[in-house]
Structure 1
Amino acid sequence: MYSSAAKAYFKTKVNTTSQEEIVVLLFEAAIKFLEQSKIKIQEKDFQEKGNLISKALDVIAELDASLNAEKGGELAQNLHALYLFCQSRLLMANLKMDTEIIDEVITMLKKIGSAFAEIIQSSKLK
């Protein structure tokens, strides 16, 4: 699927990227998959739409699994609830072929992802 050069690039990228930056990359990946799924709905390529939404669900599950309830406290609990909400909305969007629901989730993921990016940026400036 990927060339050996592409695999080497991705491996290097992951190994040289901080954990915080990987979280931002995960948000970007989920958003990308969801944007692509909307196109597949318009093209009536329902199998690929389902694959892309599944990939986004996997990314959100990974974000959820990375939460540390002990250190994160109430914030981690709130993020967990939000991730569950996004997952349930995406399952509904997948069934109904509803791009508006996908847009709703994209909006939430963009807000959370940009908040993480801002936190990372401000911590680098200190």
Structure 2
Amino acid sequence: MTYLPNDCYDSYRSVDLEARAASASPYELVLVLMDGLLDELARARGHIEHKRYQQKGQSLEKCMNILNGLNGALDEDNGGEVVQGLARLYEYCIYRLSDVSVSLSLEGLDEVVHLLTTLREGWEGVRAARQ
């Protein structure tokens, strides 16, 4: 079986992600997912820029799956306004990525990256405060 450089990198990323997730606290797990999400968004950008539309679709699908997973893990019964706000943000990002998939709008992709980078910084602050 012939491995392309992307295959090797994807295998490494998968093993690294599994190792990080296995030893992560809930806050660290969110950060691991956010890091993976931001990495995949960067890949989606490259696919759009280089007109690799099939790979773009795969990358955006992965991103939307991660966002759906984060949204599904929210404790809506006990989280109050913060959880409601996170749910709306995740849903908005999914909506924007669906639009980006059709429109190929790098501005829309950049908007999602900006929102999620800001959110990741917030999660980093929560993790630091809990340690």
TM > 0.5 fold call: yes
Which of structure 1's runs of 4+ aligned residues deviate more than 4 A?
none
TM-score w.r.t. the length of structure 1 is 0.89
Which is worse superposed, 88-97 or 9-18? 9-18
- Alpha-carbon separation, structure 1, partners of 2:17 and 2:70: 19
Compute the RMSD of aligned alpha carbons. Answer: 1.5
Whichever residue aligns with residue 123 of structure 2, its letter is F
Mapped pair 1:102 → 2:109: yes
The SS at the match of 1:70 is coil
1:68-94 C-alpha deviation (Å, 9 max, x unpaired) = 012211111111111111100000011
Structure 2: which amino acid aligns with 1:15? Answer: A
Mark the runs of 5 or more structure 2 residues left unpaired by the alignment.
1-6
Deviations 1:24-61 (A, max 9, x none): 11111111111111111111100001100111101100
Pair 1:88-2:101 in alignment: no
Indicate the residue corresponding to 2:71 in structure 1.
64
Match of residue 20 from structure 1: 27
The alpha carbon displacement at 1:10 in A equals 4.3
Percent identical pairs in the alignment equals 23
Structure 1's unaligned 5+ residue stretches are none
The normalised TM-score by structure 2 is 0.86
Structure 1 pair 31/12, CA: closer, same or farther in 2 (3 Å)? closer
Greater relative contact order (CA < 8 Å, ≥ 6 in sequence): 1
